[in-house]
């Protein structure tokens, strides 16, 4: 019963985390629109049907019944919307204000997601969490936030160490003898299978580990398994320890990880359009939610890195230069400034149509992949 309740709670936390990223994105638009003097008609937490609302000044604040994010309604997002609007209101419409103000409002949404990613990645580096920094290091191998150590960096799911060792354990000795990283691997490999080694065969004798865990010394044992790809006996752990970070170093490391992840996201998008193999790996919100649920179950530090990465991806995708994405609005505001006059909405959407079709294709492809995975 407790396991079932924990599972339900992790799903709740997962969905709340993803929804929070979307709502904070809209909050960025909302705050900047207010700051530059635009007329914000409504800020809604969740989508209609509306179940509660109140008005404060000129803005209505609403609570919707569909918990899938939120939205901000700004007066005059299109010039056509202002035809029948009182002039005193129209002059504060989105389309009537200077291009730089429009760009600031639009960039505030992705900017909020970038700040969230920076904050979460920095927090993980500052925390010194072995599991969290390890997962961040896998996101950006150039981060160099790990160093050689007999401390357990991660425990691989389904491997012999899963129920025996924990992330952060320091292996002091194996079979009674002190070890380094190199000698630890050699001593584990010395416990061979009975007979010729086959992939997955279990060692004939257990490895006895002396482990320092949270100030206690424990004696544990487990049976390694042979891995044909590695050509040696493994227990399913990654070794390493985390470098210490100050606030500035953590922010710098987080920014570097964000840059690496952004370039990987962009190249991955191109590969998904040109490679059928890559397209089979694309996930929709269904698959992303499932992955997020698994990281929440793996621990808070894993979840923070994952949510930071999703926040970063939301920012990157929203900056693609196609309407109705944020990048499309920025592109046409810049175009209007350079051209010196308005660009028709029809021209904007003609330009954007190709990009939106490609994005829609990837979304449908991701949903199809997730249905296939869920169906086994």
Same domain as 113, residue 172: no
Instruction: Provide the domain count of the chain.
Output: 2
Same domain as 122, residue 7: yes
- Short-list 26, 80, 111, CA closest to 348: 80
For residue 216, the model assigns a pLDDT of 92
For residue 376, the model assigns a pLDDT of 47
- In-domain check, residue 300: yes
Domain of 159 in residue numbering reads as: 146-242
For residue 367, the model assigns a pLDDT of 47
For residue 361, the model assigns a pLDDT of 61
Phi, psi torsion values for 261, nearest 5 degrees: -65, -35
Quote the CA–CA distance of 19 and 22 in Å, as a whole number: 5
For residue 296, the model assigns a pLDDT of 53
Same domain as 151, residue 116: no
For residue 215, the model assigns a pLDDT of 87
For residue 177, the model assigns a pLDDT of 92
Structure tokens at 113: 């997601």
What crossing angle do the helices spanning 300-318 and 130-139 adopt, rounded to 10°? Answer: 30
- Report the DSSP beta bridge partners of residue 173: 178, 210
- In-domain check, residue 250: no
How far is CA 353 from each of CA 72, 349, 357, 358, 359, rounded to the nearest angstrom?
23, 6, 6, 9, 10
Same domain as 105, residue 162: no
Same domain as 225, residue 156: yes
With beta carbons less than 8 A apart as the criterion, state whether 79 and 61 touch: no
CA atoms within 13 A on the CB side of 278: 12
For residue 51, the model assigns a pLDDT of 92
For residue 39, the model assigns a pLDDT of 92
Same domain as 296, residue 209: no
Collect the ranges in the chain with pLDDT lower than 50. 1-6, 284-289, 292, 367, 370-371, 373-376
Same domain as 12, residue 97: yes
Same domain as 112, residue 155: no
């Amino acid at each position: 019963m407790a396991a079932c309740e924990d599972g339900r709670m992790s799903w709740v936390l997962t969905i709340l985390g993803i929804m929070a990223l979307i709502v904070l994105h809209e909050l960025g638009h909302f705050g900047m629109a207010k700051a530059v003097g635009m007329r914000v008609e409504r800020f809604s937490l969740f989508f209609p049907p509306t179940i509660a609302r109140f008005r404060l000044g000129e803005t209505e604040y609403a609570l919707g019944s569909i918990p899938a994010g939120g939205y901000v309604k700004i007066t005059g997002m299109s010039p056509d919307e202002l035809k029948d609007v009182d002039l005193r209101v129209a002059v504060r419409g989105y389309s009537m204000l200077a291009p730089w103000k429009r760009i600031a409002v639009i960039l505030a949404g992705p900017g909020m997601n970038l700040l969230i990613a920076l904050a979460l990645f920095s927090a993980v580096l500052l925390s010194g969490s072995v599991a969290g920094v390890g997962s961040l290091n896998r996101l950006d191998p150039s981060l160099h936030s790990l160093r050689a150590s007999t401390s357990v960096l991660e425990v691989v799911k389904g491997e012999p160490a899963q129920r025996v060792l924990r992330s952060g354990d320091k292996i002091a000795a194996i079979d009674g003898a002190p070890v380094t990283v190199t000698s630890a691997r050699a001593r584990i490999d010395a416990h061979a299978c009975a007979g010729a080694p086959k992939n997955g065969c279990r060692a004939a004798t257990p490895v006895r580990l002396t482990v320092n865990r949270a100030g206690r010394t424990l004696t544990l044992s487990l049976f390694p398994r042979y891995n044909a790809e590695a050509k040696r006996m493994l227990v399913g752990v990654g070794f390493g320890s985390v470098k210490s970070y100050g606030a500035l170093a953590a922010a710098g490391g987080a920014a570097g990880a964000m840059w690496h992840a952004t370039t990987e996201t962009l190249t991955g998008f191109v590969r998904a359009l040109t490679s059928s193999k890559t397209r089979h790996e694309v996930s929709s919100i269904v698959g992303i939610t499932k992955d997020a649920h698994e990281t929440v179950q793996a621990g808070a530090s894993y979840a923070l890195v994952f949510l930071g990465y999703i926040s970063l991806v939301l920012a990157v995708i929203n900056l693609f230069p196609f309407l109705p994405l944020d990048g499309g609005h920025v592109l046409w505001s810049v175009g209007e400034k350079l051209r010196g006059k308005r660009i028709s909405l029809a021209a904007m959407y003609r330009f954007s149509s190709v990009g939106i079709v490609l994005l829609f294709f990837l979304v449908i492809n991701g949903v199809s992949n997730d249905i296939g995975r869920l169906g086994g």
